[in-house]
């Protein structure tokens, strides 16, 4: 074999090795290593930021799929979709739908509060304040939005908020907003919610969407005047907002006994009792990527992850249910 032929073989071999190495690298960075996170819509912004740090640190792609928290847990419990992490806006979603068949533990990791969001286009926004918001929302030409209680904790928390406000301030705000404009009713002290087929895409005085962030486009377009959202969502999207009293905004754990007065029966028969807003995270028992999932949870719980959560308007907390895997460091 002459030198030219040998040289050609060497070049081809080197190219083959280089291409193989490049393929392995790209596979690891893009498609070979990845985790899937099913998350509440209100966690999208902070989780995307944490995912950027995670991907650089571990070379693992993070796929985040957001939806209302109840829709999220039902993807696992009813549709049997395999996910590496489930993170929701209400720990009770994991407790009610995933424990014990799909997980045996979860961590409450962040808090939030309900606010009344609006824009410059919103009717009566120039006169809105903490003293008259109930009378403003009771006006018949004011359009209000909240998410479906069947899909999104922000939705059942919104109707709880109106119910608690009616009790706390001896008004008819729940009747004026909820009962008179939707098919949601109070029966024997429990708020009953029909199937989404009777709720969604309302075009009257009250708009109901599957998740609360879906109402933002209606708010910006002027199709609705006010939307019940989380404080974090209002801050992240630069919305104007009115903070509500702790007694009804579901932010204060010391007021849980009053929050418990509000009970919501969902279309699937589950009953949710009012409580302070606590986000929760878990790794389902059947995830194929436990090690990488645990690494994401650890990053979220670290000072770095906590700073991001606080920056995006979701103050951190730490409370454990069940026995944490040894790989979870906190």
In angstroms, the CA 28 to CA 61 distance is: 9
Q: How far apart are the first and last CA of the chain?
A: 64
In angstroms, the CA 214 to CA 307 distance is: 26
Q: Quick check: 5 pLDDT over 50? A: no
Task: Give SS3 for 5.
Answer: helix
Tell me the pLDDT tens digit for each residue of 245-257. 999 999 999 999 9
Tell me the pLDDT tens digit for each residue of 115-140. 999 999 999 999 999 999 999 999 99
Q: Quick check: 18 pLDDT over 80? A: no
Distances (CA, A) of 49 to 55, 109, 308, 312: 10, 16, 8, 10
DSSP string, 263-325: EEE-TTS-EEE----EEEEE--TT-S-HHHHHHHHHHHHSHHHHHHHHHTT--EEEEEES---
Q: Quick check: 298 pLDDT over 60? A: yes
Q: Quick check: 12 pLDDT over 50? A: no
Distances (CA, A) of 17 to 13, 20, 31, 244: 6, 5, 20, 63
Number of helices (H) and strands (E) in the chain: give both, helices first. 13, 15
What pLDDT is attached to residue 32? 62
Q: Quick check: 326 pLDDT over 60? A: yes
Q: CA 49, 50, 51 angle in degrees (round to 5)?
A: 90
CATH of domain 114-273: 3.40.190.10
Per-residue confidence band for 260, with pLDDT thresholds at 50, 70 and 90: very high
Name which of 28-37, 186-195, 307-316 the model is least confident about: 28-37
Tell me the pLDDT tens digit for each residue of 85-122. 999 999 999 999 999 999 999 999 999 999 999 999 99
What pLDDT is attached to residue 201? 65
**Percent of the chain residues topping a pLDDT of 90:** 87
Tokens standing for residue 76: 């696992």
Tell me the pLDDT tens digit for each residue of 132-191. 999 999 999 999 999 999 999 999 999 999 999 999 999 999 999 999 999 999 999 999
Q: Quick check: 24 pLDDT over 60? A: no
Provide the b/e sequence for 85-98 (b: ≥16 CB within 10 Å).
Answer: bbbbbbbbbbbbbb
Tell me the pLDDT tens digit for each residue of 190-234. 999 999 999 986 668 999 999 899 999 999 999 999 999 999 999
Average pLDDT for 230-242: 96
What pLDDT is attached to residue 2? 47
What pLDDT is attached to residue 13? 41
In angstroms, the CA 40 to CA 95 distance is: 15
What pLDDT is attached to residue 29? 39
**Percent of the chain residues topping a pLDDT of 70:** 89
Per-residue confidence band for 288, with pLDDT thresholds at 50, 70 and 90: confident
What pLDDT is attached to residue 11? 39
**Given CA atoms 287, 291, 296, 297 in this order, what sign does their dihedral have?**
positive
Domain with CATH 3.40.190.10 in the chain: 33-111+279-321, 114-273
Average pLDDT for 6-22: 40
> Which residues contact residue 262 at a Cβ distance below 8 angstroms, ignoring those fewer than 6 apart?
159, 160, 163, 164, 191, 273, 274
The count of other CB atoms within 10 Å of the CB of residue 53 is: 15
Q: Does domain 33-111+279-321 have CATH number 3.90.1150.10?
A: no
This prediction's pTM: 0.88
Distances (CA, A) of 215 to 10, 183, 309, 326: 62, 19, 22, 40
Tell me the pLDDT tens digit for each residue of 53-63. 999 999 999 99
58 and 295 Cβ atoms separated by less than 8 Å:
yes
Average pLDDT for 248-267: 98
Average pLDDT for 324-328: 95
């Amino acid at each position: 074999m002459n030198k030219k032929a040998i040289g050609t073989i060497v070049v081809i071999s080197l190219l083959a090795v280089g291409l193989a190495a490049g393929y392995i690298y790209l596979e690891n960075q893009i498609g070979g290593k990845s985790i899937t996170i099913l998350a509440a819509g209100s966690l999208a912004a902070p989780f995307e930021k944490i995912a950027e740090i995670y991907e650089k640190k571990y070379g693992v792609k993070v796929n985040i799929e957001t939806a209302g928290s109840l829709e999220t847990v039902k993807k696992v419990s009813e549709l049997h979709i395999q996910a590496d992490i489930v993170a929701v806006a209400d720990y009770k979603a994991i407790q009610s739908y995933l424990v014990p068949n799909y997980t045996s533990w979860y961590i409450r990791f962040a808090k939030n509060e309900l606010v009344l969001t609006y824009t410059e286009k919103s009717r009566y926004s120039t006169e809105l304040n903490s003293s008259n918001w109930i009378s403003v929302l009771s006006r018949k030409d004011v359009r209000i939005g909240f998410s479906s209680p069947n899909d999104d904790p922000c939705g059942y928390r919104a109707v709880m908020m109106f119910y608690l406000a009616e009790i706390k301030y001896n008004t008819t705000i729940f009747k004026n907003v909820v009962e008179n404009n939707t098919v949601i009713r109070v029966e024997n002290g429990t708020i009953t919610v029909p199937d989404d087929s009777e709720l969604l895409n309302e075009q009257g005085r009250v708009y109901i969407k599957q998740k609360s962030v879906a109402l933002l486009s209606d708010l910006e377009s002027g199709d609705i005047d006010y939307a019940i959202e989380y404080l974090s969502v209002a801050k992240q999207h630069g919305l104007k907002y009115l903070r509500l009293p702790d007694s009804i905004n579901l932010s204060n754990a010391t007021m849980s006994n009053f929050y418990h007065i509000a009970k919501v029966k969902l279309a699937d028969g589950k009953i949710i009792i009012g409580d302070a807003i606590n986000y929760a995270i878990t790794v389902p028992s059947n995830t194929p990527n436990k090690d990488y999932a645990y690494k994401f949870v650890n990053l979220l719980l670290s000072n770095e992850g906590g700073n991001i959560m606080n920056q995006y308007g979701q103050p951190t907390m730490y409370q454990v249910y069940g026995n944490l895997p040894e790989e979870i460091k906190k």
